[in-house]
Structure 1
């Protein structure tokens, strides 16, 4: 009964006109800025954080939460329409979403992303309301060794996830890990692989590589063809909403994605990102039904599952922040900053000392998710109209927005040149038939893996057996090894090749 009383208190706070207004402003601004290529939730919140200084604490956090999931939704829009991931977890959405757009099914892809996100967001918020304290105990059991093993499992999953050659997928992951090593060593403060170039001491940003490899690479490939052969979406837009068959395929994927995202979202260090990749890997393992489009060709499950996982993970990532005061990702770190500005100490005492804030924020998430779906479903037609712009006008606009987006993150022209260089590299990947998604996962997880491995060895005084003596770590490594063995089996290898032979 306490839960219902607390939720009643939260909805009482969230349904005040001023808080409803700020939730709407947050969702709208988040979506509009999130649609800009490369400007993900972190950059969006960082840009708009000063706007919340003068607001009451509850209104400020409600607005920032709206910006967070609004920007995440906007990121999936660019991923589906123009092959540009707005943020890290949208990399998975690109694989099937962009293929659907190419076939004139951008409407169903955008709608499935929106509906999946809405359902998962509601479930994630319910879990946050009901199980915040017990779930935090699960996150407590994860030490550096467990995180390292979880990331190993994530990378092995990415090899299975990649279409085509296993060798190419492993090569791309290793390349991503190597690029992730560029920059200043966290422990010693020494610049590594920077070749005395000052700009490389901070490393190469995810946004730079993602925009170059996916966005510019695709543009160069299109421009390398004759005008009659270029990728044109016009005249092929069929329907703005998913069909009955789409809903039938989507529903199990949304449920699976929501379960994965809710579980992994509480883990610090990219739980929402890992859940999107994990969801896509699992969807590829589920047997195709009769008449279903193969993966890599625009399967709607490959959009609905990861988007649901990503959104559920985004909601449950508030659990360690609100219950322990530990920010699990960069966005939550900014939320800690916002709470500190308003003289709120994040941690277990928020629930008891400031229940209006805690439960008001949770209730506003439900309202925010409903606002997002009301805002974005009518906008699908507008986004689709972007695809009817002639390519000769569309590609310079994409290049311009990418340049503005990447420049605005660091105010540095070096990043703009790096995007161009990675655009050429991305074109080379397309020509070689190499899937770039594993490279980006390697790039994101590489520094986190290194940090957790070093920390685990430091705590165990250099004893490597800590990876297998801790039960959770040993289980995760065992699952990774099992996955490698299964994929290496001749019968599985043959089936995998059959599944992807149309793409090669």
Structure 2
């Protein structure tokens, strides 16, 4: 009953005309940011942060939060229709774009919109009910535990790859190597930069994602030398009842995964999408279809993406620790308004805390309206001949890449990765495991080094900490199970061969 009372108190503040307007503005701007290739909530919030000086406290924070989770909502559109992802919609390119090629663009976007609504709703309930206590969970994780968690992430390679496992592991290793490019934070030495100043800060995730997915896909389409648009035929938006029943379980699984990983520093939407996709490939009734245009491949990652975007506010508002760059900007907005996020925030500013939580569900409703009934409008923008559309796509890709560091070198890096990505496509190599390795590799190195420094070089620290020991045990059990299944399958083949010859 206390939760209902607190939510009612929050809706009193969130449903004022001014806050509704700020929430709507944030959601619309966030959705547009998600639609434009390369642009993201980080750059947008950075540009709009000075506005917080002149806006009311509640309205400013509600608007900035709306931009963040609105961008998570909208970034699936460009990933599904054109295979041009943001960092948090990389997995959507796999099954979402396959559905587009099959003429199911409307169904894919409906699935993403409804699943995001489900994920956001579940995460808001988690945020409202467990924020005061769940924030403490992040404090239980030390460097050894995060290192083990990153290793669990690498296990996902066996699920997300659409080709052979060996190719997937090789691509993942390539991503890890790319993640090592730049200046070593521990020693200050440059690694794998080949003397190029442009690589001193490392390879940008935006450049890698836009190049290997967006530019490569455009090049592939132009190489086909045929007139085409991003999708063909009529837009069938509403799913059949059997299709809708496939959306719900996957969306709920993704909501749980995203809600959990959103709390942990280093988790968030980027990691949550891979974890949710891997889980669906393991437990879904239609796991054999995932990777070739299955609804579950879109639903799970969309729900996890949105849920993680909401629950990432928990460590910020409950213990005052931002878990990613966007949350750091949100913390700056809080401080600009004279509010210190942390354990005392709920007690000192209950109207702001519960008003922000309630506004997230209001924003969820706004985004459902923007992304489901208006899907036909969004797609009408892309009903343009491809030879007219692709220069515009390349233009926005360049803008998005340039906006990260205001550097022309990033555009050249994106073009280089576009050529590499096109080569991968011609060789039937999947870039998704490479993105996973690129994201997790530097994080694994950082936490491993911290663990070694704290333990004075003793590897036993990974087995003496309960959380890391549990995670490593799960990894060992997973590999033991895979070896057992492979051995049993091989033995079954050996037994069947003599029977067939007889």
**TM-score, normalized by length of structure 2?**
0.94
Shift in Å, 1:233: 4.4
Q: Are the counterparts in 1 of residues 100 and 231 from structure 2 also a CA contact under 8 Å?
A: no
What's the counterpart of residue 159 of structure 1? 158
What's the counterpart of residue 326 of structure 1? 321
Q: What is the CA–CA distance in structure 2 between the aligned matches of 1:293 and 1:148, rounded to whole Å?
A: 31
Matches within 5 A, 1:2-13: 2-13=2-13
Q: Deviations over 1:8-49 (max 9, x none)?
A: 221111111111100000001111122111112222222222
Q: Are the counterparts in 2 of residues 156 and 484 from structure 1 also a CA contact under 8 Å?
A: no
Shift in Å, 1:293: 7.8
Q: What is the CA–CA distance in structure 2 between the aligned matches of 1:316 and 1:79, rounded to whole Å?
A: 23
Relative to structure 1, the CA distance from residue 388 to residue 491 in structure 2 (aligned partners, 3 Å threshold; closer, same or farther) is farther
Pick one of 267, 270, 274 that aligns with 2:267. Answer: 270
Q: What is the CA–CA distance in structure 1 between the aligned matches of 2:140 and 2:489, rounded to whole Å?
A: 36
Runs of 5+ unmatched residues, structure 1: 495-504
Q: Between Structure 1 and Structure 2, how many residues are aligned?
A: 490
Q: Are the counterparts in 2 of residues 172 and 439 from structure 1 also a CA contact under 8 Å?
A: yes
What's the counterpart of residue 301 of structure 1? 296
Pick one of 399, 402, 421 that aligns with 1:404. Answer: 399
Q: Are the counterparts in 2 of residues 85 and 210 from structure 1 also a CA contact under 8 Å?
A: yes
Q: What is the CA–CA distance in structure 1 between the aligned matches of 2:28 and 2:9, rounded to whole Å?
A: 25
Q: What is the CA–CA distance in structure 1 between the aligned matches of 2:487 and 2:39, rounded to whole Å?
A: 43
Q: Are the counterparts in 2 of residues 23 and 62 from structure 1 also a CA contact under 8 Å?
A: yes
Q: Are the counterparts in 2 of residues 124 and 315 from structure 1 also a CA contact under 8 Å?
A: yes
What's the counterpart of residue 65 of structure 1? 65
Is 1:348 the equivalent of 2:347? no
Q: What is the CA–CA distance in structure 2 between the aligned matches of 1:476 and 1:166, rounded to whole Å?
A: 22
Matches within 5 A, 1:86-165: 86=86, 88-165=87-164
Relative to structure 1, the CA distance from residue 492 to residue 199 in structure 2 (aligned partners, 3 Å threshold; closer, same or farther) is farther
Equivalent position SS for 1:94: helix
What's the counterpart of residue 493 of structure 2? none
Shift in Å, 1:223: 1.7
Q: Are the counterparts in 1 of residues 74 and 371 from structure 2 also a CA contact under 8 Å?
A: no
Q: CA RMSD in A?
A: 1.8
Shift in Å, 1:194: 1.4
What's the counterpart of residue 498 of structure 2? none
Shift in Å, 1:401: 1.0
Q: Are the counterparts in 1 of residues 183 and 190 from structure 2 also a CA contact under 8 Å?
A: yes
What's the counterpart of residue 211 of structure 1? 210
Q: What is the CA–CA distance in structure 1 between the aligned matches of 2:336 and 2:164, rounded to whole Å?
A: 50
Q: What is the CA–CA distance in structure 2 between the aligned matches of 1:447 and 1:145, rounded to whole Å?
A: 15
Shift in Å, 1:347: 0.5
Equivalent position SS for 1:186: coil
Relative to structure 1, the CA distance from residue 107 to residue 470 in structure 2 (aligned partners, 3 Å threshold; closer, same or farther) is same
Relative to structure 1, the CA distance from residue 168 to residue 493 in structure 2 (aligned partners, 3 Å threshold; closer, same or farther) is farther
**TM-score, normalized by length of structure 1?**
0.94
Relative to structure 1, the CA distance from residue 33 to residue 160 in structure 2 (aligned partners, 3 Å threshold; closer, same or farther) is closer
Q: Deviations over 1:80-112 (max 9, x none)?
A: 1110112x2201111111111111111111111
Matches within 5 A, 1:85-484: 85-86=85-86, 88-227=87-226, 232-289=229-286, 294-484=289-479
Q: What is the CA–CA distance in structure 1 between the aligned matches of 2:467 and 2:178, rounded to whole Å?
A: 29
